[in-house]
Amino acid sequence: MNASDIPSDIPSDIPTDIPSDIGSIGTDDPARGLLAVLALRRLAERLEAQQVAVARGAGWSWQQIGDALGVTRQSVHAKYGK
């Protein structure tokens, strides 16, 4: 992620950089490493769903939410507009 990819309205205290030493947090055991990836993916999905609900409750449009997530309004609506 580059600085130009970060929306200007993200608070400065929210981390947006991927650590340069990301490999150091890994493991030599693929089963453990992939399990960790799965857990993070599930956490990210739950956080995204929660924040989309918060945004919709605050009156955000699907376009605004899509822009904040870096996806189209159609894709975010298809995923959460039930």
Predicted structure pTM score: 0.69
d(CA 19, CA 8): 21
Q: What is the pLDDT of residue 14?
A: 62
Q: What is the pLDDT of residue 27?
A: 77
Q: What is the pLDDT of residue 18?
A: 61
Q: What is the pLDDT of residue 28?
A: 86
- How far separated are the first and last CA of the chain, in Å rounded? 31
Average pLDDT per block of 10 residues along the chain, 82 residues long? 53 63 72 89 96 98 98 98 89
The stretches of 1-82 forming alpha helices (DSSP H) are 30-57, 62-69, 73-80
